[in-house]
């Protein structure tokens, strides 16, 4: 296990170097602009968004310890100042450091901040070509719930639907390496649970980078 984890970390470093040529860095960025003299609460909000891109408002309130009204005030100020950017998807508004992530990356990060979509995506990374039935069993939720989340993920271009006759399966668009990288970088507690299961994703992708 220790040897596998070391290999994953080495391959992960290679993956980041390759992606950094055309994509934003897969490491928590520094807060945008000077923070000296900022309101302490506003600074905490900015730092949390910077370290947890794709966070939604309720999670921000819970983790930073703010009432909803106070959180809305501070993210509103930060967005007006150009320090953060927000995107609404359905019932949720997700927050990101300004001018750092592309549209697809924002969508992936936003979905990874929600438990059910995150579990579905991670199971698809591990088992591409899964059916709704298999995903329902793996995630422990009902098939209608899985179906609802899959529909959203397909609309966002994150998941692909495949049909062969009457059989319908799903996979992460473009493979699962980007999802796995975001989990490792921005959701370390989730990564600890999934690292051994996602190790092959990093190794296979980075071997392709080596070629």
Quote the pTM value. 0.73
Last residue of one domain, picked from the residues 99, 128, 157 = 99
Domain end position, chosen among 99, 120, 144: 99
Q: What is the pLDDT of residues 119-136, one digit of tens each?
A: 999 999 989 999 999 999
Residue 57's domain spans which residues?
30-99
User: Under DSSP, is residue 162 helix (H, G, I), strand (E, B) or coil?
Assistant: strand
Model confidence pLDDT, tens digit, residues 174-185: 888 788 888 888
Strands in 55-56's sheet, in edge-to-edge order, are 55-56, 92-97, 84-89
What is the pLDDT, as a whole number, of residue 21? 42
Structure tokens at 109: 């990060």
For residues 151 and 190, state if they share a domain.
yes
How many domains, the chain?
A: 2
Q: Is the pLDDT of residue 93 over 60?
A: yes
Structure tokens at 12: 């992960």
pLDDT score at 18: 45
pLDDT in tens, 8-21: 455 444 444 444 44
User: What is the residue whose two structure tokens read 């100042």?
Assistant: 81
Contact in structure between 97 and 53 (CB atoms under 8 Å): yes
> In the 8-state DSSP scheme, what is residue 33?
S
**Same-domain status, 107 and 170:** yes
Q: Are 173 and 157 in contact (CB under 8 A)?
A: yes
We report the CATH number of the domain holding residue 195 as: 1.10.10.10
**Same domain as 123, residue 20:** yes
Please check whether residues 9 and 72 belong to one and the same domain: no
Q: Do residue 106 and residue 68 come from a single domain? A: no
Q: What is the mean pLDDT of residues 60-70?
A: 95
Q: Of 85, 83, 69, 52, give the one whose Cα is nearest residue 185.
A: 52
Q: Which of 99, 120, 151 is the last residue of a domain?
A: 99
């Amino acid at each position: 296990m220790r040897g596998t984890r070391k290999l994953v970390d080495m391959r992960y470093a290679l993956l980041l170097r390759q992606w950094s040529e055309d994509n934003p860095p897969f490491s928590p960025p520094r807060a945008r602009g000077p923070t000296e003299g900022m309101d302490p609460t506003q600074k905490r909000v900015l730092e949390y968004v910077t370290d947890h891109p794709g966070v939604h408002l309720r999670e921000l309130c819970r983790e930073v310890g703010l009432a909803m009204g106070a959180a809305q005030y501070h993210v509103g100020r930060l967005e007006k100042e150009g320090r953060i950017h927000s995107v609404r998807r359905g019932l949720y508004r997700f927050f990101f450091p300004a001018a750092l992530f592309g549209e697809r990356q924002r969508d992936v990060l936003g979905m990874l901040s929600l438990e059910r979509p995150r579990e579905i995506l991670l199971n698809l990374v591990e088992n591409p070509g899964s059916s709704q039935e298999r995903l329902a069993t793996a995630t422990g939720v009902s098939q209608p719930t899985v179906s609802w989340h899959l529909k959203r993920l397909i609309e966002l271009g994150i998941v692909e639907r495949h049909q062969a006759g009457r059989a319908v399966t799903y996979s992460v668009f473009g493979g699962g390496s980007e999802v796995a990288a975001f989990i490792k970088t921005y959701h370390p507690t989730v990564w600890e649970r999934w690292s051994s299961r996602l190790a092959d994703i990093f190794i296979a992708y980075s071997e392709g980078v080596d070629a």
